[in-house]
Structure 1
Amino acid sequence: MTPLRQRMIEDMELRNLSPKTIKLYIDNVSRFARHFGKSPEVLGPEAIRTYLLYLVQDRQVAWGTYKQVLAALRFLYRNTLQRGEIVHDIRCPRPERHLPEVLSFDEVRRFFQAVHSFKHRTILMTAYAAGLRISEAVRLRVCDIDSQRMVIHVVQSKRNKDRYTLLSPLLLQMLRHYWWAARPDDWLFLGPSRVKPIAVGTVQQVCRDARNEAGLDKAVTPHMLRHSFAPALRGPFRRTGDRTRWVAGGADFFLPVRVLSRLFRGKFLDLLRQAYVAGKLKFPGQLASTVNSADFKRLLNRSVQTE
């Protein structure tokens, strides 16, 4: 391991990046260095620009891949090499906006009928009904299932944030049946060693096998299950089982606005701007200071222009 790689790993660990992110960044920086056959320490802005053009024009990588590469290079030059000026003027391109592919109710039914292991079916149903990433579902502990408040506690989710999501009565019933059969003590879904949780790759393979057996044309993944039903079932916000508070799938307060703008962005923002100009928008409490605010008007104009 080169001193530069070791130093970058240590810098990422100091910033509490996840092991998955650390590996992703290191792999991307390694590919960047191999492309030129030189250490990143001697490469500058023109080399980065050339490499990014290579990814876009020759490799035709997806926007998400491009973003990951850029994030890795930014971390390397800003934090490890302390040469942030090299990546200062490199901007991330406009994201491609695609609605996620989802399964119909009939496809979901056929898929789950093809999952024969009760444990695997319970894991996938948990991801489906609670809107969990598969990495979150496999790392659930018994204590994360709160049947009193009818919520699931998701610990150290994306960006190292905790959150709550809803626990439906049907899912709770299934989890109870699973608990009586498996009797887990700590990790809810144990792997073969019964010490560590089941591997994500195992669940992904179960998805592929069930998809083939069910004869589905779509490339079913655990993440597709997350998109297929839970968001529509829960809506942007929903009250908890004890009806005392509202929870969302994530920590984003403006999730309803994001959902609407994703589907009807241009029309939604144009009507919002018209309502603002006509004085029909009401701003309660501390938000009242934004009425007739030039900043708010500029924000609306800028949002419409990005459409």
Structure 2
Amino acid sequence: MIAEMQIRNYSPRTIGSYVSSLIQVSQYYQLSPEHISLEQFKDYLTHRINEDKISNATINQAIGAWRILQCDILHRNWKAFQVKRPRIEKKIPRVLSQAQILSLLDTVSNLKHYALLSLAYATGMRRNEILHLQLKDIDSARNMILVSQGKGHKQRQIPIHNSTLGILREYYKKYRPAKFLFEGYKPGVPYSASSFRNILYKAAKRACITRKVTPHLLRHSFATHMLEKGLNLKRLQLLLGHNTMKTTSVYLHVADMSSANVPDLLNTDKDTQNGK
């Protein structure tokens, strides 16, 4: 099964999650996965939903692993083993104001931590993308960052302003990372996700921000603030690396567009129509 997912170019994280899902259901019944029936699999999911309160994402992950097992490994007809995915909950992203984030950054005295959090907010990159960003991925001559570890192994370029580049240069001169932009104590090994979360949690606490602040919250805030600054939705979609505009459009429900320039269609004044 691992080989099948590697051929499909699944990320190591996805492979690990799918394998773990099947191991858990196998251990639950003390049976090899190929001997577990459709009804047993459904009963297992029901148990996890009621007892462990698992999320829709975890359910979808288990169903995805189940489908690969049945169709690609055991070559069975999916209709005989199909499990319908749960309905997607449409949630509006939680965000911080720009003032809150700047206040949070002001509490960070460690240069490495400051560079990490500043880059996360200034670019809207995903946590995994930042932690696997390599030195060679930063094109300072063109003010661009190549995201080579994007979701689904999709690459994209993100512009980076001189202010953020200046922070990264100052950080590099002091820490001299070997391969990845942000590394732990061991050279050549990327900074850990738990360390990222911890420094963000502590910074938020010092800034007296009571809500839970995560790396993804910085990404949501970036997207919302970009819309509020006038960036068009298509451009934002490309920066965030979303497959569809529909995914990006959720930020329209969060952004404060009250200051946007909305034309008066009933005003026949030529100068107004021409934007003068």
Q: Distance in 2 between matches of 1:87 and 1:160?
A: 32
Gaps of 5+ in 2: 254-276
Q: 1:137 to 1:68 in 2, by over 3 A?
A: same
Letter in 2 for 1:122: A
Deviations 1:205-260 (A, max 9, x none): 21222223333211111111111124532543449xxxxxx9532153x42x5444
Letter in 1 for 2:240: G
Q: Which residue of 2 aligns with 1:288?
A: none
1:103 to partner: Cα distance: 1.1
| Percent identical | 31
- Does residue 138 (structure 1) correspond to residue 131 (structure 2)? The answer is yes
Q: Which residue of 2 aligns with 1:61?
A: 54
CA contact (8 A) 2:67 2:82 kept: no
Letter in 2 for 1:248: L
The normalised TM-score by structure 2 is 0.80
Letter in 2 for 1:44: S
1:132 to partner: Cα distance: 0.6
1:147 to 124, 129, 140: 140
Deviations 1:131-151 (A, max 9, x none): 111111122122212233322
The normalised TM-score by structure 1 is 0.73
CA contact (8 A) 2:93 2:251 kept: no
CA contact (8 A) 1:130 1:230 kept: no
2:239 to 226, 240, 248: 248
Number of residues of Structure 1 aligned to a counterpart in Structure 2: 249
Q: Which residue of 1 aligns with 2:207?
A: 214
- Does residue 193 (structure 1) correspond to residue 197 (structure 2)? The answer is no
Letter in 1 for 2:239: A
Q: Which residue of 2 aligns with 1:273?
A: none
Q: Which residue of 2 aligns with 1:223?
A: 216
Q: Which residue of 2 aligns with 1:236?
A: 233
Deviations 1:167-208 (A, max 9, x none): 123212211222232334532222212222222222122122
Q: Secondary structure at the match of 2:157?
A: strand
Q: Distance in 1 between matches of 2:251 and 2:175?
A: 42
CA contact (8 A) 2:124 2:223 kept: yes
Q: Secondary structure at the match of 1:229?
A: helix
CA contact (8 A) 2:204 2:213 kept: yes
Q: CA RMSD in A?
A: 2.5
Deviations 1:7-65 (A, max 9, x none): x2233233332221121111111111122222221112111222222233443322111
Q: 1:73 to 1:102 in 2, by over 3 A?
A: same
1:126 to partner: Cα distance: 0.8
Q: Which residue of 2 aligns with 1:96?
A: 89
Q: Distance in 2 between matches of 1:202 and 1:99?
A: 27
Q: Which residue of 2 aligns with 1:47?
A: 40
Q: Secondary structure at the match of 1:112?
A: helix
Deviations 1:66-103 (A, max 9, x none): 11111111122222222243665322122001011111
Q: Distance in 1 between matches of 2:94 and 2:43?
A: 33
Q: Distance in 1 between matches of 2:171 and 2:51?
A: 49
Q: Which residue of 2 aligns with 1:105?
A: 98
Letter in 2 for 1:189: F
- Does residue 122 (structure 1) correspond to residue 115 (structure 2)? The answer is yes
Q: Distance in 2 between matches of 1:177 and 1:98?
A: 39
Letter in 2 for 1:53: T
CA contact (8 A) 1:145 1:152 kept: yes
Q: Which contiguous aligned blocks of 4+ residues in structure 1 show a shift greater than 6 angstroms?
A: none
CA contact (8 A) 1:74 1:87 kept: no
Gaps of 5+ in 1: 1-7, 240-245, 265-307
Q: Which residue of 2 aligns with 1:5?
A: none
Q: Distance in 2 between matches of 1:232 and 1:210?
A: 20
Q: Which residue of 1 aligns with 2:197?
A: 204
